[in-house]
Amino acid sequence: MYLFDEKIGRRRFIRGAAVTAATGGAAVAAGGCASFGSAEHDLGVDAAGAAQWGREAGEWIPTCCNMCGGQSGSLPT
């Protein structure tokens, strides 16, 4: 008999979903993935990159981007 041949009631579905969520949550907590990459870290400063791409690289002109139909602000050089 195939698993999905029988009807699965609402309560059985909810119970199965809760067990799956709890198992997934326990696996993430046990594996330590919940805190992977979530802390702030210092980025190295590259003097050549800062001179070319930093705030002091040239004249910044405030404008609006209309590419997607909205108007989000941007600062192109």
Flag whether pLDDT at 19 surpasses 90. yes
Nearest to 53 by CA among 34, 76, 69, 72: 76
Q: The whole model's pTM is what?
A: 0.34
Domain positions in the chain are 1-33
pLDDT digits (tens, 9 = 90+) for 29-76: 766 555 555 666 666 778 787 777 777 777 878 888 777 777 777 777
The CA distance from 28 to 71, in Å, is 39
